[in-house]
Structure 1
Amino acid sequence: MKGTENSAEHGAGNGPRDDGRLIGRSVPRREDPRLLTGRGRFVDDIALPGMLHAQFVRSTVAHGEITAIDLGAVRAVPGVLAAYTADDLHLGDITAELDRPRTEFVPTAMPVLARDRVRYVGEPIALVVAENAYAAEDGLEAARVRYAVHPPITGEAAALADGAPLLHAEADRNTLVDVELFATDGIDEVFATADHVVRIDAHTGRQNALPLETRGAVAHWDDREEQLVLQTCSQVPHQVRTVASRCLGLAERSVRVVVPDMGGGFGLKCVVGREEIAAAAAALRLRRPVKWIEDRKDALTASFLAREQHYDVRAAFDATGRILALDADVVCDMGAYSCYPFTAGIEPLMAAAEMPGVYKVPAYRVRGRAIATNKAPSAPYRGVSRPQYVMVVERLFERAARELDLDPLEVRRRNLITDFPYTGVNGITYDPGSYRESLDLCERTLRAEGWYERARAARAEGRYLGIGYSCFSERTGYGTTAFAQRKMTVVPGYDLSEVRMDPGGAVTVTTGTMSHGQSHETTMAQIVADELGLELDQVKLRQGDTDRVAYGWGTFASRSIAVGGSAVRLAAGRLGEKLRALAAARWDVPVEDTVLGPGKVLRRDDPDTALGYPQLAEIAHLRADLLPKGTEPGLTATASFDVFNDGTFSNATHGTVVELDPDTGRVEILRYVCVEDCGVAINPQVVDGQCRGGIAQGIAGALFERVTYDAQGEPSATSFMDYKVPTAHEIPDVTIHHLETPCAFTETGAKGAGEGGTIGAPAAVLNAVNDALRPTGVELDNTPITPETVHRALHREHYQESTR
């Protein structure tokens, strides 16, 4: 029910619900016993007879022509069996497309191995295959590559400068995407006549998604099945199959992609990489299994990155703090190539389409650009631009409130969407949410704990204590309609599921989504068990195998439960209908006179008469002679689910309290409160884990993590000594309160919950830091917020906020 606080019912570790249903209960994760006792099976755990090991010769320059590659000494290294260049493997390129005119989008072909030109340090040039991992590394040392070096493009100004070197000849001014959207009629007049106009010019740092398990693959040719089997840690196995088949020149049925346990992805693994395709090509050629495991240095420097963005945004307000217009210019540094299938448009198009967020913005204009630079390419990373644009929009409201001498929370309340459904100026229709309620509860929580009084007392003592908030929505449940609006030529959205009962009455369910830590083995089983009245251990999930799962788009954009879970529930429901029809035939009564009970079908008019699922399953499989005429043997049901509107919107408010150390510039987070609404929480403990993990990554982006480059395009953060990742010491305890506004069009009432924590954290932390800095008169707009920046701000000495 909208606005109902469910923090007690939905807290982690709560007991059974009174109604006996599994949905809404924090049942223990079924994955944990296997994973926590070391019995998980990850890519690097796979060992096949005769397996070889591969590593990549990578570019040592950011931009240049390859004038010579000499692998003769490589092949002479003891233990090395083969070494391949692009000319040896003859692989097709990986090319992502948008159905947009070339004035808006320029496709760039990404070769599996660089052929004539390199565009970033770490770009794969050649593949070395050896008897063991050590010999493969020795082989790399023997490779000799010569370059004609070009000046690197390492940032926005250099990329867009007149006469700048071009990474791709077809991309003028190094621009891959340039789209102008909405442009409300009369918007310039609105700004000209507004009582007040505020502006934010903000940069956000380039980040690495940093899953615990780096990328990897094991490939082998199966002669019996006439298939290339590629085992890899991917969020999108069917997309990997498609690209592998095209690059290798095989039919899709000749490629099988299998995903074992996966140690995190966060979007980094929802695009198709080059290395797994090259490893598969080597296995195909050598007819021996080939394993590639990415080392941490390559993961930090040569893997997909994200989030380097620049926002120049104006907002017009009236004298009471109501927003009148929003005008934005967004530039996203996407690195050297477009990722497949989302393209370089993934970040600018997300920001442009959804920036108004939870606020009633009457007029809007936005330009979104993706530029190419000599850096590793970008991929989606948890939240995809929303942590950045939410931070910018929340800064606009904070600045407007300060300049208008208004309470910043009251300014937000005057502008929040409260009447649903609401169609915004961006053409998106928002389904019901608890935007105002989440803000109110978050503020009440911090006030009740006395943080406002503590902040006043601290300031009186000369300490720097600040309180910050962020209000936001997370668009989830993107269906094909929503993805088609981006004009992708590969249009994700729907999901498929099959639910099958074996002769003993146990159930196996497939999903096209792919767990990389989200507990699908538990939550999907909860949905099926509830629908059929089964115990949880009677349901087994199958995922991540392109031969077992008919088709699937994988896991990203918080779609797994909203879309995948809906397909699972529909398929389970259809299996239930088959069970009822079979029982009705045995009793010679109409199907309407039957009802599903716990593990059995009951007669509605005589509940003491029942047929258990094992009895019905035995008839369906082993006694086909007893089936009604025209009834097919077996018990299998399939279903698909799609969303034919703009999706559903989870929402949240984050509130945090920070203290700044004037001696070191360190930002300490004293308190963090999250009030979130993801509709019906299938497993509240899992949702809490998603929130806490996301908040940790959001704090990392706000305060710590940044991938940097020197003037030659050489990455500076090649280890955890330089790439500053927060530890448990820096991440605070997080209190989570749940509100519940069920989605009206998903099968379970669930909305997505995967990205919200990350989306809200940077804005809340930045606003809290600025609140603490209020006595100095300095405001910060960029992230990450470094101790050096805070120290300069506190001491007001030669202050200039760094944007790089």
Structure 2
Amino acid sequence: MNGGNHGGNESGHPRAGDGARLVGTSARRREDPRLLTGRGSFTDDLRLPGMLFAQFVRATIASGIVTSLDLSAVREVPGVVAAFDAEDLALGDITARLGRPAEEFVPTGMPVLAGERVRFAGEPLAVVIARDPYAAEDGLEAAKVTYDARTAVVDDAQALAPGAPLVHEEAAANTLLDVSMFASAGIDEVFDEAACVVHVETRTGRQNALPLETRGAVAAWDDREQQLVVRTSTQVPHQVRTVAARCLGLDERAVRVLVPDMGGGFGLKCVVGREEIAVAAAALRLGRPVKWTEDRKDALTASFLAREQHYDVRAAFDAEGRILGLDADIVCDMGAYSCYPFTAGIEPLMASAEMPGVYKVPSYRVRARAVTTNKAPSAPYRGVSRPQYVMVVERLFERAARELGMDPVEIRRRNLITDFPYTGVNNVTYDPGSYLESLDLCERTLREEGWYERRDAAFAAEGRHLGIGYSCFSERTGYGSTAFAQRKMEVVPGFDISEVRMDTTGALTVTTGTMSHGQSHETTMAQIAADELGLELARVRVHQGDTERITYGWGTFASRSIAVGGSAVRLAAAKLGEKLRLIAAAHWGLAPDQVELARGGVRRADGGGRMSHREIADIAYLKAHLLPKGVEPGLAATASFDVFNDGTFSNATHGVVVEVHEGTGQVEILRYVCVEDCGVAINPQVVEGQCRGGIAQGIAGALFEQVTYDAQGEPSATSFMDYKVPTALEIPDIGIQHLETPCAFTETGAKGAGEGGTIGAPAAVLNAVNDALRPTGVELDNTPITPETVASALEHA
């Protein structure tokens, strides 16, 4: 599909001609030479003079009162320099809020170090500072903590049960958020009169985002600049600066946050962690650099988690398979605290606002709740609720197709949005996409490869269980301030700011408020700027992750980097391009409209000559007396960008072929096809990398990964022996096909691409598994689908 040329060329900003464009090509990643040769610099690589090392004394029970915390023996351990508890550091709580009435939302402060009350196993109680990491670990062993243990609340059913213990006294019924939305008039009658009503109740397992690099921070006081410099592995450096300054009672100017190379984040690092604030406080207190690196056990058990959700949903259909209404009850187990800045509402609000997705749903009603339990708190994780609600909606369509005797692909065709822009029953307006085209292409691919015949023949001839499953979905990307404000967030993300600056040699430095943790921003942002100004890619340097050099930024999450950050880069480069044209035109004695940007600089429209970037920069910096009147010396420009609508919507269809081995219950993926549309792909190879990585995480959630707890709230998955992570052997080769519907709301025509793979995979895998098991009468609705789950279901069929 080709939606035509993007309107960026009609925006009044001429773009450089003369030569092939970089946007739309798979330019080689600028990051790779450094990262693949071991020259990357991550938080744990940092070494500062006089550096100390931190680790945290953590609670060993899930719920209780700390009756005593004795650190005296810790301070006597050889190599230990200091040990601080909550009273020693006296820091304010980290509190995230929504501007909702008290009956809808209850804010809960998360102390940097827990004092009297413990709310999950692994909660930090004290920080131990030592001369080396080993002494810090020895110091932890010497800490003496006694508790008055209380009954732990370990799941949503227990949390909501009458008379349940309260995790927070202020949160009645252990409920942090309770909202009812979109109650369409007459929806009960719609269900009463429908030809077909289907029901799905599903639970999804709690997961860890599991970045390759765990969390970490190095904090040090810079006496010359009078600044606390915090180097940390975060997706949101400016938010870390804000919280650190507030907790420490400093001006924000007195805190600088720097982000080295980062080995993944996936949303886990787009919230502010209490440990990085404690490390900053310790460094300020001691006047020496302090480093903390999270070990894998703490990362699995005490870091931010996600995804534990319970859906109870009905759908009404007419006799021809057209959906008439959705009625949903959503409960999300958000753990012990709200994360900053998104709050505990991040998962239920996302699910309730966007569940209708790619389908024309005329009636909708939803209740969404965030409950608090004695588990590590939840944060956004790649896809945020969309893998779950897409799975539920796709299961409803599969079930309705079976009840109505229809083909499961055909029932989707009849309900997909095809006329754009489309405003849904959820008051969201969807920009143009290729919903039907992606489904048709995905199905055609599997049919032409012969998978339908192989599935039928395998069971008939050999009794093997092969199945085919699909999922159709959209990925809302490029959330602007308007979209986040609809959630009534007290802290409203959205815009991004970029500065471009050309030096005297004509080389360009670009700043962005987004933060790469593997998405290739050093390449894709440079492609955008280089195309705009007619530069070689090698002459563009992208700078990110420094609150001192970057005016402000919201970081990277929700697939916003290219859609929002890339648009700001393009606008800033266009502003600089105007200045280049003005200087060149004055040099030739021409009007600005008589010159144009070209590869390597500026050319006369009449073909009479060219000026290189270096020649123009020479005037701008070294011969300012030659500048035209009103043009200031130097070559720099700044621009911001925001999306003042409901965002942009990428879309895709995933098709999966699986074999379920009846003897072992194991699910083997034989074929995986992804047809995706993210608008203009700035770098198609990078988009494919995003798809493959996301799909791997989606498969992990569908088949393998789950954080479990015992009845006392003690985490059971404390290592990779228990937390099952797929390897390359379990992830199949993934076929990716691109469609392109340019976005009208961004400066590049691009939509986001970061989360789609994760969103579509669980639904497609689950549907394929159920298709394979259809001859047995077994039907599964929960994830992960473990071999034990399948074997047990078959045994009881």
Tell me which interval the TM-score lies in, with the shorter structure as reference length: over 0.9
Per-residue Cα deviation, 1:366-409 (whole angstroms, up to 9, x for no partner) = 00100000000000000000000000000000000001111111
Q: CA deviation at 1:739?
A: 0.2
CA contact (8 A) 2:3 2:742 kept: no
Give the letter aligned to residue 506 of structure 2: G
CA contact (8 A) 1:2 1:434 kept: no
Equivalent position of 2:192 in the other structure: 192
Equivalent position of 2:585 in the other structure: 584
Equivalent position of 2:341 in the other structure: 341
Unaligned runs of 5+ in 2: 5-16
Trace 1:425-574 onto structure 2 (pairs within 5 A): 425-460=425-460, 461-574=462-575
Q: CA deviation at 1:586?
A: 1.2
Give the letter aligned to residue 409 of structure 2: L
Per-residue Cα deviation, 1:229-253 (whole angstroms, up to 9, x for no partner) = 0000000000000000000110000
Equivalent position of 1:254 in the other structure: 254
CA contact (8 A) 2:19 2:599 kept: no
Q: CA deviation at 1:572?
A: 0.4
CA contact (8 A) 1:2 1:433 kept: no
Mapped partners of 2:792, 2:68: distance in 1: 49
Give the letter aligned to residue 557 of structure 2: F
Equivalent position of 2:139 in the other structure: 139
Q: CA deviation at 1:529?
A: 0.5
Trace 1:386-397 onto structure 2 (pairs within 5 A): 386-397=386-397
Give the letter aligned to residue 143 of structure 1: A
Give the letter aligned to residue 475 of structure 2: E
Equivalent position of 1:13 in the other structure: none
Equivalent position of 2:263 in the other structure: 263
Q: CA deviation at 1:791?
A: 1.4
Give the letter aligned to residue 95 of structure 1: T
Give the letter aligned to residue 539 of structure 1: V
Q: CA deviation at 1:18?
A: 11
Equivalent position of 1:117 in the other structure: 117
Equivalent position of 2:384 in the other structure: 384
Equivalent position of 2:692 in the other structure: 692
Mapped partners of 2:779, 2:443: distance in 1: 22
Per-residue Cα deviation, 1:161-207 (whole angstroms, up to 9, x for no partner) = 11111111110000000000010000001001111100000000000
Per-residue Cα deviation, 1:258-316 (whole angstroms, up to 9, x for no partner) = 00000000000000000000000000000000000000000000000000000000000
Equivalent position of 2:179 in the other structure: 179
Give the letter aligned to residue 53 of structure 2: H
Mapped partners of 2:753, 2:196: distance in 1: 36
CA contact (8 A) 1:191 1:325 kept: yes
Q: CA deviation at 1:2?
A: 3.6
Give the letter aligned to residue 541 of structure 2: K
Per-residue Cα deviation, 1:620-657 (whole angstroms, up to 9, x for no partner) = 11111222233211000010001100011000000000
Mapped partners of 1:385, 1:18: distance in 2: 45
Local SS of the residue matching 1:328: strand
Give the letter aligned to residue 23 of structure 2: I
Q: CA deviation at 1:344?
A: 0.2
State the identity as a percent. 78
Equivalent position of 1:316 in the other structure: 316
Q: CA deviation at 1:798?
A: 2.9
CA contact (8 A) 1:416 1:435 kept: yes
CA contact (8 A) 2:305 2:376 kept: yes
| 1:653/1:388 CA distance change after superposition, 3 Å | same
Equivalent position of 2:14 in the other structure: none
CA contact (8 A) 1:3 1:437 kept: no
Equivalent position of 1:422 in the other structure: 422
Per-residue Cα deviation, 1:58-77 (whole angstroms, up to 9, x for no partner) = 00000001111000000000
Trace 1:125-274 onto structure 2 (pairs within 5 A): 125-274=125-274
Mapped partners of 1:69, 1:584: distance in 2: 73
CA contact (8 A) 1:653 1:675 kept: yes
Find out whether 1:282 has 2:257 as its counterpart: no
Mapped partners of 1:91, 1:590: distance in 2: 60
Local SS of the residue matching 1:67: strand
Give the letter aligned to residue 595 of structure 1: E
Mapped partners of 2:715, 2:366: distance in 1: 32
Mapped partners of 2:211, 2:396: distance in 1: 32
Q: CA deviation at 1:321?
A: 0.5
Trace 1:39-50 onto structure 2 (pairs within 5 A): 39-50=39-50
Equivalent position of 1:101 in the other structure: 101
Mapped partners of 1:691, 1:149: distance in 2: 45
Equivalent position of 2:654 in the other structure: 654
Q: CA deviation at 1:788?
A: 1.1
Equivalent position of 2:400 in the other structure: 400
Mapped partners of 1:715, 1:186: distance in 2: 45
Q: CA deviation at 1:458?
A: 0.7
| 1:3/1:199 CA distance change after superposition, 3 Å | farther
Q: CA deviation at 1:3?
A: 7.3
| 1:439/1:19 CA distance change after superposition, 3 Å | farther
Equivalent position of 2:777 in the other structure: 777
Mapped partners of 2:83, 2:392: distance in 1: 48
Equivalent position of 2:13 in the other structure: none
Give the letter aligned to residue 563 of structure 1: V
Mapped partners of 1:726, 1:3: distance in 2: 38
Deviating more after overlay: 157-166 vs 74-83: 157-166
Equivalent position of 1:741 in the other structure: 741
Q: CA deviation at 1:608?
A: 3.5
Mapped partners of 2:502, 2:601: distance in 1: 13
Query: After TM superposition, which residue ranges in structure 1, 4 or more long, deviate above 6 angstroms?
Result: none
Mapped partners of 1:618, 1:336: distance in 2: 59
Give the letter aligned to residue 400 of structure 1: A
Mapped partners of 1:431, 1:515: distance in 2: 26
Trace 1:325-340 onto structure 2 (pairs within 5 A): 325-340=325-340
Mapped partners of 1:770, 1:18: distance in 2: 55
Mapped partners of 1:717, 1:631: distance in 2: 63
Mapped partners of 2:479, 2:449: distance in 1: 38
Equivalent position of 2:11 in the other structure: none
Among 778, 781, 798, the residue aligned to 2:796:
798
Equivalent position of 1:754 in the other structure: 754
Mapped partners of 1:320, 1:658: distance in 2: 29
CA contact (8 A) 1:773 1:793 kept: no
CA contact (8 A) 1:3 1:434 kept: no
Give the letter aligned to residue 623 of structure 2: R
Give the letter aligned to residue 687 of structure 1: V
Q: CA deviation at 1:464?
A: 0.4
Equivalent position of 1:11 in the other structure: none
Give the letter aligned to residue 501 of structure 1: M
Q: CA deviation at 1:19?
A: 6.1
Mapped partners of 1:451, 1:18: distance in 2: 47
CA contact (8 A) 1:359 1:415 kept: yes
Give the letter aligned to residue 485 of structure 2: A
Mapped partners of 1:482, 1:571: distance in 2: 24
TM value normalised by structure 2: 0.98
Mapped partners of 2:48, 2:311: distance in 1: 49
Trace 1:624-635 onto structure 2 (pairs within 5 A): 624-635=624-635
Local SS of the residue matching 2:782: coil
Q: CA deviation at 1:793?
A: 2.8
Give the letter aligned to residue 132 of structure 2: N
Give the letter aligned to residue 233 of structure 2: C
Trace 1:597-746 onto structure 2 (pairs within 5 A): 597-605=598-606, 607-746=607-746
Local SS of the residue matching 2:414: helix
Unaligned runs of 5+ in 1: 5-16, 800-804
Mapped partners of 1:557, 1:798: distance in 2: 41
Mapped partners of 2:375, 2:88: distance in 1: 26
